[in-house]
């Protein structure tokens, strides 16, 4: 994977994430997405520490998840995060697949916006630092 706009991580579904029938509770998918999102942000050197140092925080303002098949205790999955939009927000797509069989299990998106830390104001256009880190023109 050579694109800075995509990252994937492998997650093994832990015991503490499953219910009494061994299926991962739906709320834990936000955590799996976060693990992949951190890997994606690191690919273009704009992780949460770098965001804070640049004067911006990027809260998640929207998240959608479509559950296709359940994940189970001990199952190894691949979570892929792909940056799809960055001009006015960071829109990231996620795909969770079975690591062994490659079956699609879950997909989703998150949307994050830049907020100026000093003023607390939301930015309606992504700040120049994001374009710089991505190596693209605004």
Domains of the chain: 6-132 (3.10.129.10)
- Residues of the chain by 3-state class (helix, strand, coil), percent to 5: 25, 40, 40
pTM for this model (two decimals): 0.94
pLDDT tens-digit profile, the chain (138 residues): 456 799 999 999 999 999 999 999 999 999 999 999 999 999 999 999 999 999 999 999 999 999 999 999 999 999 999 999 999 999 999 999 999 999 999 999 999 999 999 999 999 999 999 999 999 987
Q: 136: phi > 0 → left, psi -120 to 50 → alpha, else beta; which?
A: beta
């Amino acid at each position: 994977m050579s694109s800075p706009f995509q990252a994937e991580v492998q997650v093994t579904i832990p015991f503490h994430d499953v219910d009494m029938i061994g299926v991962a509770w739906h709320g834990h998918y936000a955590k799996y997405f976060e693990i992949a999102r951190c890997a994606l942000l690191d690919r273009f050197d704009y992780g949460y520490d770098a965001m804070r140092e640049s004067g911006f925080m990027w809260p998640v303002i929207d998240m959608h998840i479509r559950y296709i098949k359940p994940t189970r205790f001990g199952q190894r999955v691949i979570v892929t995060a792909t940056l799809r939009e960055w001009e006015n927000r960071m829109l990231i797509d996620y795909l969770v697949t079975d690591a062994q069989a490659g079956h699609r299990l879950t997909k989703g998106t998150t949307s994050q916006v830049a907020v100026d830390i000093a003023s607390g104001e939301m930015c309606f256009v992504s700040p120049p630092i994001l374009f710089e880190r991505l190596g693209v023109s605004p």
